[in-house]
Amino acid sequence: MPITSYFHGLQHDPETERVMAVAYEMICATFQLDDQEPIDEAVARKIIELTHVGVRDPDQLCELALTDLRGTVSS
C-alpha cells in the first residue's frame, strides 16, 4: 500500500511526498513488509510525523523511524 494511503487528507508538496514514499518503500522492502501487516501503518505514521518536524532526507527518515519503532517495541 502506498504511503499516500495514510495521509488521511493531509496535503504535502510533491517533493515531500516523494521523499516520504522513498523512505517508506526502503523500510518495507528491507523488512519484506506486506500490506496486511499493522507495522506498515506504524512505519507510515512515523515517517509522516518526522516530515512534519522538518526531516526531509529519506535515509534519515528511515533511521529515525526505525529507532523510534524499536523503542516502542522494546518498552
pTM, 2 dp? 0.85
DSSP characters for 8-41?
TT----HHHHHHHHHHHHHHHHHTT--TT-HHHH
User: What's residue 36's pLDDT?
Assistant: 64
**For the chain, domain boundaries:** 3-74
Which pLDDT score is estimated for 70? 83
Assign 71 a pLDDT band (cuts: 50, 70, 90): confident
Can you tell me which residue has the cell 533511521? 63
Task: Determine the length of the chain.
Answer: 75
- What are the tens digits of pLDDT across the range 11-63? 889 999 999 999 999 999 988 887 767 888 899 999 999 999 999 999 999 99
Is residue 23 within 8 Å of residue 5, measured between CB atoms?
Answer: no
